[in-house]
Every structure is written in C-alpha cells, then in structure tokens.
C-alpha cells in the first residue's frame, strides 16, 4: 500500500491482529514458550540495572512478564507498581496483576509518568515502529529505562520459503504470507532516531523442532503470531496448499530424524530516556588516548595483522 504524504505505510491489519490475539487468549499460556523466553531475558536486563523503578509498564506478552517476575524476587524488589497491557482485552485479562487493554500505536500514557517500560514480543506488529518508540520515550520519566524484545528478520525463513514454493507450484503466483520483521542492525539505530540515549541491541536465536509443518502452524495460531499483513492475499486456499507446504518443508529442511526446524530470531534492544546526568559522546577529535593504546595492542599499518 502506498502511504499518504507524511504517513507510514500500513503494513499490518491491526483489527485482525486484535482478533487473532483474542482467539489465542484462552490457551495462550500453554504455547507461550517464546514469550516466556523473551520475558526472562527482559528481566535479566532489568536486574543488570543498578536502580529501582517506582512504576513499570509492560507492553504485550499476555501476562508473561508478570508471571516471570513472580519467580524473580531479585527483580521484583526493584519494581514498585507493575501494569501489564495488551492490544486484546481478552489477552490483557490473562495477566495476573494490574492490566489494561491498550494500543501501543496510540499510547494512552501521560508524558514522563513511568520509570520503566518493557515490551514483550509486541512491537514487530506496529505499522510505525519509530513512532511507537517515540511515544514510549515520551512516557518515560527522564533517565527512565526501556527494554524490548521483538521478532527479527530471520524468523520463520523455512516456513516462508515453503509457502512461496507451494503457492507458486499450485497457483502459479506468489504472495506474502509471513510478516516482514526488523533487522538486528537497525534496532539500536531506530532507538536513537526515537530519541533514546545509549541505545544497544543484540539477538537471541532459537530453533524449535517439530514433527511437521502442521504442528508449527498450530503453535503460531495459539501464540497469536500468524500473519496479519494488510496486503495479504484474499484468495481462499484449499487444504492441498497446506499439504504441499508441509511436503516442501520436509523435503527441503527435515533433519536426519525427520523432524523439521523452525528458526526464530528475537531481537533485544534497550535505551534510556535522556537526562542531563547521562554521559555525553565526545566531540570528534577530542579523544586523549589512541584506540590502540586503550585496547593494549600494537598499532599496525594497513593490511597488517596485530600480534
């Protein structure tokens, strides 16, 4: 879809996303292994910060952060009030503490009102990721901390290739059926564009093995992570299409024991709301020590290797 002037393109059907998450809510905790992993990693990042947070806001995750926090007294004592949110009211109801239904594309949070924001496998469904990050930055008090986990570009590459091959073979055409995700190298830069200080990013790669592609696709439905592309094909597909997809998946990617791998890439990023007390980058040319001296290595000429 072509965006109107000044507006980001509409990649995702957020109404459909809300419906898919509502459908998944009842059994979500039984299939939330990716969200659980991401929640634990987010809390590790909070644990590494040497300060307490009076008010914390969690975006997405279906209650996984709150449940993980209950098992982490080392982190729980650092957080005062925890409020969990989700786009779907039914998914928000799965949270065990204070929770509300909220659209992260239109964050209804007062500026400079929270000390900590965590986002658990939610932001990859936003149409304007930078815009959502800007709103989160505004919601944080100065020197507030933000950490997020979202699915990255290498997620489900095997399924993507199998779907394309099956559609081409059966229908003689190809359409997007797996959502596009952000790249690792972009995420810290996106935080910087949104005004965060000291942004960092890293990646967690997870491989899950399945008996067949039908079980994988069931898990994606139960997670609420099936594609909601706005420009998805509206042409109905028959069971033959999914049978062919499963066949191609097994033929191309099955391992020695016949099971198929599904790779997920979880991108992590963190940053701080700006504050005058934070370290400022040095002006170009103002360094007082050569990089080689700082690293304790011998400076070499072009084409040489340091010993």
Q: What's the confidence (pLDDT) of residue 305? A: 40
Nearest to 264 by CA among 219, 212, 214, 200: 219
| Cα distance between residue 251 and residue 97, in whole Å | 46
| Cα distance between residue 164 and residue 159, in whole Å | 9
For the chain, what percentages of helix, strand and coil (3-state, to nearest 5) are there?
A: 40, 20, 40
Low-confidence ranges of the chain (pLDDT < 70): 1-6, 173-185, 232-236, 281-307
The 10s digit of each residue's pLDDT in 124-169 is 999 999 999 999 999 999 999 999 999 998 899 999 999 999 988 9
| Cα distance between residue 56 and residue 80, in whole Å | 7
The 10s digit of each residue's pLDDT in 229-263 is 877 666 667 889 999 999 999 999 999 999 999 99
Q: What's the confidence (pLDDT) of residue 137? A: 98
């Amino acid at each position: 879809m072509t965006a109107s002037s000044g507006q980001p393109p509409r990649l995702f059907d957020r109404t459909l996303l809300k419906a898919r998450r509502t459908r998944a809510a009842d059994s979500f905790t039984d299939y939330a292994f990716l969200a659980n992993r991401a929640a634990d990693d987010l809390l590790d990042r909070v644990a590494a910060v040497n300060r307490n947070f009076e008010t914390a806001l969690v975006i997405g995750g279906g209650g996984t952060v709150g449940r993980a926090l209950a098992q982490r007294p080392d982190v729980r004592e650092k957080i005062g009030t925890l409020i969990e949110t989700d786009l779907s009211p039914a998914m928000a109801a799965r949270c065990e503490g204070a929770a509300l239904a909220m659209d992260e594309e239109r964050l209804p949070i007062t500026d400079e009102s929270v000390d900590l924001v965590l986002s658990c496998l939610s932001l990859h469904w936003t149409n304007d990721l930078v815009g959502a990050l800007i709103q989160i930055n505004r919601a944080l008090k100065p020197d507030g901390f933000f950490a997020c986990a979202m699915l990255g570009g290498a997620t489900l590459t095997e399924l993507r290739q199998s779907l394309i091959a099956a559609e081409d073979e059966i229908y003689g055409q190809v359409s997007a059926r797996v959502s596009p995700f952000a790249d690792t190298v972009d995420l810290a830069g996106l935080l910087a564009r949104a005004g965060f200080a000291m942004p960092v990013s890293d990646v967690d790669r997870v491989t899950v093995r399945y008996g067949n592609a039908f079980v994988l696709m069931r898990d994606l439905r139960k997670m609420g992570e099936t594609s909601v592309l706005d420009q998805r094909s509206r042409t109905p597909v028959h069971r033959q299409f999914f049978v062919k997809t499963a066949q191609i998946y097994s033929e191309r990617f099955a391992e020695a024991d016949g099971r198929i791998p599904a790779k997920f890439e979880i991108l992590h990023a963190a940053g701080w709301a700006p504050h005058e007390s934070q370290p400022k980058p040095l002006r170009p040319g103002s360094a007082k020590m050569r990089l080689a001296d700082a690293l304790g290595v011998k400076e070499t000429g072009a084409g040489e290797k340091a010993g």
